Structure 1
Amino acid sequence: MSSRPTSDDQATADRELCGLVNALAHQIETHVRDRAGTIGLTPAQAVALRELTGPMTMRDLAERMSCEPSNATFIIDRLEEKGLVERQTTPRDRRVKQIVLTADGVQVRERLLALLIQGSPLQPLTQQEQQTLHQLLARAVTGQ
């Protein structure tokens, strides 16, 4: 006869899993901070460059960065001062600006992505394990 998990068992499992997720998040934050610093970027600037996969609005970037649009604006202002991004009017609506990488921004982003791969906390996982982890985390985050 098998026993069903108790609420104490579930609470322990939840606590342990949350601890592991928090530890991994901390390792990733430290990794991003260390790697970004080697090329003169703050962690927030590095995240913005990583997420700029093409032209996008400030609102879209803020959503991808999981931050408020005002915070994304501050970060983009600093990247613009460094000559890594520029704001352009969108063809469909001249009132809307989109963020675009400059030629220098493309080069710095490529360098950043290469640095982030080196020594990544996720490096010990196989590609299949990373895909599985991605799927599980996405399900947990979306509740689906």
Structure 2
Amino acid sequence: MSRWPEGESQTPVDSEIDRDVCHLVHSFTHRLDVHVRRVSEQLGLTPTQVIALRELSEPITARELAVRMTCEPSNATFVLDKLEAQGLIERTPHPTDRRAKRIELTPAGQDSRAAVLAKLGTGSPLTSLSDTQQRELRDLLRMLVTTVETDSTEQDS
């Protein structure tokens, strides 16, 4: 199965472009990190709690949250323990998997998530892009990440 659209092939990367892209991605990631840290300070949360609340758009398992947060399940569990102690989430039985618990926002957690989303949306490095540009950037990054994951999986086989 080819990762490239029909009629297209993988293009060698110019070293200058590679260097520029790496630098720009690093700089952009740093700006996003600074933004998340500011939001976390304003809301009295840790940066990882901000990310967890952003990702809890519906009830999910801790394992699913770890995937969304790109962290180890034990890290997600640690963050969830803190959010539970603050009354922002509750763990409920999973409807189809007796071994798993679903993570659900409490009413206070829903309020906190709304505040997180509002603050993250204000002053984000992405606000300088139009809606269309934001979607295009997301789609390009998704394609690159998927390609890297596919290459990594193929090399592991």
Alignment TM-score > 0.5, same fold: yes
Gaps of 5+ in 1: 1-6
Instruction: Tell me the TM-score normalised to structure 1 length.
Output: 0.92
Structure 2 residue matching 1:33: 3-state secondary structure: helix
**1:137 maps onto 2:146 in alignment:** no
The residue type equivalent to 1:101 in the other structure is L
CA separation in 2, counterparts of 1:76 and 1:50?
A: 13
Fraction of identical pairs, as percent: 47
The residue that corresponds to 1:28 in the other structure is 32
Mapping for residues 100-119 of structure 1, pairs under 5 Å: 100-119=104-123
CA separation in 2, counterparts of 1:35 and 1:66?
A: 20
Aligned with residue 10 of structure 1, among 11, 14, 23: 14
CA separation in 1, counterparts of 2:119 and 2:133?
A: 21
Structure 1 residue matching 2:58: 3-state secondary structure: coil
Aligned with residue 56 of structure 2, among 33, 52, 58: 52
Q: What's the CA shift string for 1:56-97, capped at 9, x where partnerless? A: 001100000000000000000000011000111112233210
The residue type equivalent to 2:84 in the other structure is E
The residue that corresponds to 1:66 in the other structure is 70
Aligned pair count?
Answer: 137
Structure 2 residue matching 1:123: 3-state secondary structure: helix
Q: Runs ≥4 in structure 1, deviation > 4 angstroms?
A: none
The residue type equivalent to 2:89 in the other structure is V
